[in-house]
A and B are shown apart, each in its own frame.
Chain A
């Protein structure tokens, strides 16, 4: 990922981009980034559930992927026919540059919100 802008500096003078990312959208994008090779719906759902230790609505993930692609933050392509799933093709995805940029921006915003809070709150693990 590209380096983050310095804290407490430029961000205050710059308006946040119009398309903010929701929490779930961030999770989906991050899951895609974590995975390598053919990244498709089944693997994305598994990755989110593994990392969050929570079950997630599969349909919500797919709808989110659709929205992210509409926004230009993801791109997709169809794989070849895959045996073991009735010969049906997979739709594979990857994060676009704009998607990465928005992820970084969202993280920055959250970090700025956390700054100055009671240290005990910062680590909830």
Chain B
């Protein structure tokens, strides 16, 4: 038989809260009457909509009426309180209580204070329950606050410039060419855009490098930026001391200090303006100091040197970073269109040859907000993490709701008596919510403390390339967020039990046994366990997928060893020593490498201009005899000068030919070594050995290099790249003393003491080259870890969250089953007395737990199928819907559920039938 339709539950609740006590029964009865007739006439859906309308209308009107009545009473100085003649509906016939029937805000607050005191006293009497609940909430809230601190600083906080949304980064792409998918801008683009663009209010370029900065005896290797004079005006920043560079200043002679350098090195002394410092080997004058907010382009940018493009401008460099400020009314789309048009004019204005023209033909400007450019690809993982800890909070709230239900169930009789004595629903809800509020407030405080301790750990573990990471901390916004979370937790966890256990039907709880009430409680708790299980499974599957990705990534063979290799850089001031040619620098390098090799435990030493996984490698176009003869575009390849036993130290296999010989003289013919894929690109299908290649730019009187060796391919940056990077290796000395030199390479040292050898090397450097700082100090293993940092950080956090969720879910299931056993002790006792085996009873409990878990797993699998796609670019070598992972994690979940069921099952089977029957 179909159940009679019922009006919407929350609409009824609204009426109960808004109507005066005496009006509730007749008004809700009348509305029910009309509702039922509307169900017959117009259908349930329309009737429900109608009922909601009436609930809102009645609530609004009656609340206004009560305020009006109160106003009249106060104006008349009437006595406020219950009593005959003062009662709007004198025909009442029930017992008055202390329950407040008139809507008086003052009385409401008084009642709230009373409820809070009462709740605090109750919670003090149940320290175990209080501790478990507070700890659960504190862990979840703390995790949320910690991740939010990072998200707030990195993603939400706008850049500290005026109108930061108007700042754009301009880069380029040339699909169909052999240039990287995205690259910087050429100097010619800066000049053209600055002069011709109407959509840009201002445009600047900047570059960042690391170099020696010296003031007196103090020398360090720091991040230094060179920037156009328009740089500061574009960003909209002003100095705190001194002035900014202007077009009148000579290029390269003046610089502006960063705030941190000014404080660290000069103690904030304004007289530093006008002094000179040596930067990158040249003396430059300090003309100003910037404010503490300017940490651009790098967090640790130490100073900015004035730079300007000087004619003649050679097009095609594509190495500048451009930052622009949009003109009023202009948008990124219109700017992109304008720049595309301007770019097409570049070959005509600046030349560059057919190769350059061909690239420009395929060129597309890429304009994005400066914030997006700086944040890069860390945005998605951070949001995933915030979502993850949000799920953990919901699971924690479900756990707490469960605990509150059990607590309310155990106080059912007390609540029922209060209800029978006339306690209103509002009052009962308020009393129970008061407990939830106190627990959530304590959980919030605990969470804030955990976050305060946890944020530094999180920052330490996070990928250091995240912009703004250095200034992440527990600030006011994070504390407000914590308070908000605590309120949400109180509502989510507390409302369900409070509403359930203030039901008018509670009076039935006074009867000895109330199977309906218990059944409803069991169902509610089962639903909570299902929800927790499902959410925990989503987290488990996600972390399982990331774990697989991490495993796959760490098993990628990059073409070189990462174990037992120490690397560092040091850049002696060769110019001061009068050394500026390839052979002399090479002699120094050999001498230095020999000293390194003499250290105990060192097996081999080499050097490379730019290290894989750190600085990558430079790129240039190379021509072979074949490509030089044809009209084909010369391929763009990575290249790096190397010296010493670089290949042997790094474990890069020699496939053919030989390594470079030790040589510090200009050779008759310069050797080259190519990687396998570079060989195939330059000489498809042929053996590269003994073939010749040259730099494409060296075309007037070309110097051909002879291939003497072919080595295995390597991965320069990201292990996720599907193809290795083709490399051309050149020796330390070129075809003339001025061809090239390698003054500041990365040294690689093969030694089992890679983790501890740094101090000895520092001492050696101090002996050999006292004025050269040692920097970029790593182990190759550390660099490899750093390259996985984004994935490993996300994976680790997700694993911790999944672990937490699993524990909470298991605790929830354990609680439900324990409660079930306690409730059915009598029944179990009877069964045992009638001959049931302990084994059968254990099976009964475990089966119950398994059923609930299976439902949770099914729901969780469904949710995971939808949500794992979000992991997107973080996955490597595994699909978002990977069946083995899903199956394995479901198995883990079921296993944990079985464990959680074990204790209650044992308890069930150890019930003493006599005692259990007597206990009732």
A residues bordering B, Cβ < 8 Å? 40-42, 57-60, 62-63, 66-67, 69-70, 75-78, 82, 84-86, 88-91
Binding site secondary structure of chain A: mixed
Complex Cα gap A58–B34 (Å): 11
B26-A41 in contact (CB<8A): yes
B72 nearest in chain A by CB position: A70
A66-B65 in contact (CB<8A): yes
Q: A66-B88, A76-B91, A84-B36 are in contact. Are A58 and B26 (CB under 8 A)?
A: no
B89-A91 in contact (CB<8A): yes
B88-A85 in contact (CB<8A): no
Which residues of A sit under 8 angstroms from B62, Cβ to Cβ? 59, 62-63
- Apart from A66-B88, A76-B89, A86-B32, what are 5 other A-B pairs with CB-CB below 8 Å? A59-B58, A66-B65, A76-B91, A78-B92, A89-B25
Complex Cα gap A82–B28 (Å): 13
B29-A70 in contact (CB<8A): no
Complex Cα gap A50–B65 (Å): 27
List 10 A-B pairs, Cβ < 8 Å: A40-B26, A42-B30, A58-B58, A59-B54, A62-B23, A69-B88, A78-B91, A78-B93, A82-B29, A88-B29
A78-B61 in contact (CB<8A): no
Task: Give B42 Cβ to nearest chain A Cβ, in Å.
Answer: 15
Task: Give A3 Cβ to nearest chain B Cβ, in Å.
Answer: 31
- Interface 1/0s, chain B 782-799, versus A by CB < 8 A? 000000000000000000
Q: Within 8 Å of chain A (Cβ to Cβ): is B57?
A: yes
A90-B89 in contact (CB<8A): no
Complex Cα gap A41–B23 (Å): 12
B33-A85 in contact (CB<8A): yes
- Interface 1/0s, chain B 49-71, versus A by CB < 8 A? 00000100110111001000000
Contact of A40 among B30, B32, B65 (CB under 8 A): B30
Complex Cα gap A42–B26 (Å): 10
B89-A89 in contact (CB<8A): no
Which residues of A sit under 8 angstroms from B247, Cβ to Cβ? none
Q: Within 8 Å of chain A (Cβ to Cβ): is B27?
A: yes
Complex Cα gap A77–B88 (Å): 12
B30-A90 in contact (CB<8A): yes
Contact of B58 among A62, A82, A85, A90 (CB under 8 A): A62
- Interface 1/0s, chain B 82-121, versus A by CB < 8 A? 0000001101110000000000000000000000000000
Task: Give A46 Cβ to nearest chain B Cβ, in Å.
Answer: 9
A41-B27 in contact (CB<8A): yes
Task: Give B339 Cβ to nearest chain A Cβ, in Å.
Answer: 62
B1-53 contacts to A, CB under 8 A, are: 23, 25-30, 32-34, 36
A88-B25 in contact (CB<8A): yes
A57 nearest in chain B by CB position: B57
Complex Cα gap A40–B29 (Å): 11
B34 nearest in chain A by CB position: A42
A91-B26 in contact (CB<8A): yes
Which residues of B sit under 8 angstroms from A91, Cβ to Cβ? 26, 89, 91
Q: Determine the interface band of chain B, counting residues with CB < 8 A from chain A.
A: 20 to 34
Complex Cα gap A75–B88 (Å): 10
Contact of B57 among A42, A58, A69, A77 (CB under 8 A): A58
Which residues of A sit under 8 angstroms from B57, Cβ to Cβ? 57-59
A60-B61 in contact (CB<8A): yes
B65 nearest in chain A by CB position: A63
Which residues of A sit under 8 angstroms from B33, Cβ to Cβ? 42, 84-85
Which residues of A sit under 8 angstroms from B32, Cβ to Cβ? 85-86, 88
Task: Give A63 Cβ to nearest chain B Cβ, in Å.
Answer: 5
B25-A69 in contact (CB<8A): no
Which residues of B sit under 8 angstroms from A90, Cβ to Cβ? 26, 29-30
Contact of B29 among A58, A59, A67, A86 (CB under 8 A): A86
Complex Cα gap A77–B34 (Å): 21
Complex Cα gap A30–B26 (Å): 21
B residues bordering A, Cβ < 8 Å? 23, 25-30, 32-34, 36, 54, 57-58, 60-62, 65, 88-89, 91-93
Task: Give B376 Cβ to nearest chain A Cβ, in Å.
Answer: 57
Q: A59-B57, A62-B58 are in contact. Are A85 and B29 (CB under 8 A)?
A: yes
Task: Give A5 Cβ to nearest chain B Cβ, in Å.
Answer: 31
Complex Cα gap A86–B4 (Å): 10
Which residues of A sit under 8 angstroms from B89, Cβ to Cβ? 66, 69, 76, 91
B26-A88 in contact (CB<8A): yes
Which residues of A sit under 8 angstroms from B26, Cβ to Cβ? 40-41, 78, 88-91
Contact of B61 among A40, A63, A69, A75 (CB under 8 A): A63
Complex Cα gap A89–B92 (Å): 12
Which residues of A sit under 8 angstroms from B23, Cβ to Cβ? 62, 66
A66 nearest in chain B by CB position: B88
Task: Give B45 Cβ to nearest chain A Cβ, in Å.
Answer: 20
Q: A41-B27, A86-B29, A86-B32 are in contact. Are A58 and B54 (CB under 8 A)?
A: yes
The CB with the most chain B CB atoms within 10 A, among A42, A76, A88, is that of A88
Task: Give B318 Cβ to nearest chain A Cβ, in Å.
Answer: 72
Which residues of B sit under 8 angstroms from A89, Cβ to Cβ? 25-26, 29
The CB with the most chain A CB atoms within 10 A, among B23, B26, B33, B58, is that of B26
A77-B61 in contact (CB<8A): no
Which residues of B sit under 8 angstroms from A69, Cβ to Cβ? 88-89
A46 nearest in chain B by CB position: B34
Complex Cα gap A84–B36 (Å): 9
Complex Cα gap A113–B802 (Å): 80
Which residues of B sit under 8 angstroms from A88, Cβ to Cβ? 25-26, 28-29, 32
Which residues of A sit under 8 angstroms from B28, Cβ to Cβ? 88
Complex Cα gap A85–B31 (Å): 9
Which residues of A sit under 8 angstroms from B54, Cβ to Cβ? 58-59
Which residues of B sit under 8 angstroms from A82, Cβ to Cβ? 29
Complex Cα gap A90–B28 (Å): 10
B58 nearest in chain A by CB position: A59
Which residues of B sit under 8 angstroms from A57, Cβ to Cβ? 57, 61
A70 nearest in chain B by CB position: B88
B59 nearest in chain A by CB position: A59
Complex Cα gap A24–B573 (Å): 97
Which residues of A sit under 8 angstroms from B93, Cβ to Cβ? 78
Across the A-B interface, the 6 shortest Cβ-Cβ residue pairs: A88-B29, A91-B26, A59-B61, A59-B57, A59-B58, A85-B29
Complex Cα gap A63–B59 (Å): 11
Which residues of B sit under 8 angstroms from A62, Cβ to Cβ? 23, 27, 58, 61-62
Which residues of B sit under 8 angstroms from A84, Cβ to Cβ? 33, 36
Complex Cα gap A82–B110 (Å): 37
A67 nearest in chain B by CB position: B65
Contact of B30 among A41, A60, A63 (CB under 8 A): A41
Complex Cα gap A70–B91 (Å): 12
Complex Cα gap A89–B29 (Å): 7
Which residues of A sit under 8 angstroms from B34, Cβ to Cβ? 42
Task: Give B504 Cβ to nearest chain A Cβ, in Å.
Answer: 10
Complex Cα gap A85–B60 (Å): 23
A78 nearest in chain B by CB position: B91
Which residues of B sit under 8 angstroms from A42, Cβ to Cβ? 30, 33-34
A87 nearest in chain B by CB position: B29
Task: Give A28 Cβ to nearest chain B Cβ, in Å.
Answer: 14
Which residues of B sit under 8 angstroms from A63, Cβ to Cβ? 61-62, 65
Which residues of A sit under 8 angstroms from B92, Cβ to Cβ? 78
Task: Give A54 Cβ to nearest chain B Cβ, in Å.
Answer: 16
Task: Give A38 Cβ to nearest chain B Cβ, in Å.
Answer: 12
B30-A77 in contact (CB<8A): no
Complex Cα gap A76–B92 (Å): 10
Complex Cα gap A13–B58 (Å): 42
Which residues of B sit under 8 angstroms from A58, Cβ to Cβ? 54, 57-58
Complex Cα gap A119–B92 (Å): 50
Task: Give B275 Cβ to nearest chain A Cβ, in Å.
Answer: 80
A76 nearest in chain B by CB position: B91
Complex Cα gap A78–B30 (Å): 13
B33 nearest in chain A by CB position: A85
Complex Cα gap A118–B330 (Å): 68
Task: Give A13 Cβ to nearest chain B Cβ, in Å.
Answer: 31
Complex Cα gap A69–B91 (Å): 11
B31 nearest in chain A by CB position: A58
Which residues of B sit under 8 angstroms from A67, Cβ to Cβ? 65
